[in-house]
Amino acid sequence: MITLLDYGAGNVRSVINAVERLGETVRIARTGEDILAAERLIFPGVGAFGNMMRILNEKGFVVPLKAYLAADRPFLGICLGLQALFDGSAEAPGVTGLGFLPGTVKRFETDLSVPHIGWNGLNARKPSRIFNGLSGHEKVYFVHSYHVATDDASAVLTTTDYGYPFVSAVQKGNVIATQFHPEKSGKTGLRILENFIRSDVTPYLPIGMSGPTLLAKRIIACLDVRSNDRGELVVTKGDQYDVREDGEVRNLGNPAALAGRYYRDGADEITFLNITGFRDFPLEDMPMIEVLKQTSRHVFVPLTIGGGIRDYTDKDGRAYTALEVAAVYFRSGADKVSIGSDAVYIVEEYLKAERRTGESAIEAIARVYGNQAVVISVDPRRVYVASPGDTPHPVIETDFPGPEGEHYCWYQCTVKGGREGRDVDAVTLARVCETLGAGEILLNCIDRDGTNAGFDIELINAVKGAVTIPVIASSGAGCVEHFHEVFTRTQVESALAAGIFHREEVPIGELKGYLSGKIEIRL
């Protein structure tokens, strides 16, 4: 029996699913006594340090947790569950941590994109039970902007490199904590969890777990989901966002089944976009929530869900906030939510007021679940101009002239699935969303979507150059070489595709086989 500490923020469902997959039962700790009675305690933390400590204090969990740790009982902290063990965090100055280990939590100071998102390696300092059965060359999934810094070198279990080496796991006796997410690290992560759960495992130091580590470029499979005309939820795929063929919504398969296939094929992450979310009532869209629940039961890589993350009022006049909508998705198994149309409206308001309100969906969700949980999905389209002075928007000089031979263009943001263009450009949108607290940009391109013509390198470089958060390149992938091109001609951390995976033109395994040795990837 595993006891899980759920303080109410973030995706604990994935941890429960992973532990249950390993044949164990999970009990949620609801009181301090539950913590003290635990045989093995897992503390998965997601979100923001200040919010986490506030809830732990309110629930009366701090004293029993400290007692549990002091008694050297089996403990596995994950992500914030690691950071909580220290004295405090730069993320929430003045807020006291559990103080089990000496040191504090600090923000990454690097020229690389922050948050550190993706699959990176481990450099072990000492043997541990959790390494049993690993070769040491495996990569595990990280998503965080802060890392711990400790003077207690003996507690450091692993380091990982991201601009510089940082502490990625600690162990003191039976207390183990990882900055990475085992529940999101595929088979490797399940093995680590199993090693923690089983009582008969001995400490082990994998030969390959030494030397510098490298962050892999991520390959993301995207499933555009909507109801077809018979009311069934299907994966569809558009050509420049038009998903109908002979009047019917294209049906490329069952969302949960397809996600399972991509997981087995080696996708590093899976994204569901509920493409009619802008006009549906998101919390009544139970099939989408069901898809997420089903998928997270058997897919152990990060899941992002987008579509309909916004404030809305249902038919009975009850108002819901975007934060409430996001909370339901997180509880159902999502690790990140992606905001599309609403982000454009938020940026319009911001530009009008020339200041932040603190009230937008981006700010509200980032405050509770952390910046890394908020992705902005941008749906831009090229607008050609004869000269840069013809528009107030930032233009680029393009190698792909427009219909009248124009050599300049800007990228107009759209809403409602590309149906409506707005007076905001993609570069400004990305920059403002970063200011408001978004953790990642999913950069689509309507002109390239479904064309198999390759990623829009010019768009990607323009947006990537304007932000310091990670960018996902999307739209237009038609062959393995396009991924090589996007990873060598731009600085993006990940590339997403839909059509070529759905139509099995390029299986993910084949793509990774091609990239292996040329680009750092997770195999």
Known catalytic residue: 181? yes
CA distance 153 to 160: 15
Q: Which stretch binds ligand 1PR (CB under 6 A): 169-177, 351-359, 458-466, 491-499?
A: 491-499
Is 379 among the catalytic positions?
Answer: yes
How far apart CA 320 and CA 290 sit, in angstroms, is 20
Q: Which of 6, 194, 224, 335 is catalytic?
A: 224
Task: Please report whether residue 304 would count as binding ligand 1PR according to CB under 6 A.
Answer: no
CB distance 337 to 329 below 8 Å: yes
Residues near 502 by Cβ (< 8 Å), separated by ≥ 6? Answer: 235, 237, 252, 253, 258
Residue 447 is a binding residue for ligand 1PR (CB under 6 A) = no
- Is 470 a residue that touches ligand 1PR (CB under 6 A)? no
Q: Is 502 a catalytic residue?
A: no
Tell whether residue 340 is a contact of ligand 1PR (CB under 6 A): yes
Span of 149-157, 166-174, 202-210, 444-452 interacting with ligand 1PR by CB under 6 A: 444-452
Q: Which of 38, 78, 176, 222 binds ligand 1PR (CB under 6 A)?
A: 222
- Pair 334, 292: CB distance under 8 Å: yes
What is the footprint of ligand 1PR within residues 235-294 (CB under 6 A)? 237-238, 241, 243, 273, 275, 277-278
Q: Which of 444, 467, 471, 473 binds ligand 1PR (CB under 6 A)?
A: 444
Q: Is 494 among the residues that bind ligand 1PR (CB under 6 A)?
A: no
- Structure-token pair, residue 210: 């030494």
Q: Of these residues, 138, 335, 379, 447, which one is catalytic?
A: 379
Nearer to ligand 1PR, 207 or 257 (CB): 257
Smallest distance, Å, CB 243 to ligand 1PR? 5
Among 44, 189, 306, 437, binds ligand 1PR (CB under 6 A): 306
Which tokens is 177 given?
Answer: 């904590």
CA 151 to chain centre: 30
339 is an interface residue for ligand 1PR by CB under 6 A: yes
Please report whether residue 493 would count as binding ligand 1PR according to CB under 6 A.
no
Structure tokens given for 93: 């100055």
Rounded to whole angstroms, the Cα distance separating 363 from 352 reads: 17
Q: Give the one residue of 252, 337, 497, 508 binding ligand 1PR; rule: CB under 6 A.
A: 497
Please pick, among 6, 91, 138, 183, the residue that the annotation labels catalytic: 183
Catalytic residue among 116, 144, 181, 502: 181
C-alpha 283: how far from chain center: 21
CA torsion 416-420-422-425 (nearest 10°) is 80
Using CB under 6 A as the binding criterion, the count of chain residues that bind ligand 1PR stands at 33
Name which of 150, 167, 149 is nearest 158 in CA terms: 167
Residue 500, SS3 per DSSP: helix
Q: Which of 477, 506, 511, 521 touches ligand 1PR by CB under 6 A?
A: 477
Contact of 187 with 116, CB cutoff 8 Å: no
Active site residue 222: no
Q: DSSP characters for 332-365?
A: TT-SEEEE-HHHHHHHHHHHHHTS--S-SHHHHH
Shortest distance, position 330 Cβ to ligand 1PR, whole Å? 16
Residues in the chain: 523
Q: Specify whether the CB–CB gap between 118 and 494 falls below 8 A.
A: yes
Half-sphere exposure of 394 (CA within 13 A, CB side): 14
User: Does 333 contact ligand 1PR by CB under 6 A?
Assistant: no
Residue 262: phi and psi, rounded to 5, are -65, -35
Q: Give the footprint of ligand 1PR on this chain (CB under 6 A).
A: 222, 224, 237-238, 241, 243, 273, 275, 277-278, 306-309, 338-342, 377, 379, 417-418, 444, 449-450, 474-477, 497-499
Which residue numbers are catalytic?
A: 79, 181, 183, 224, 379
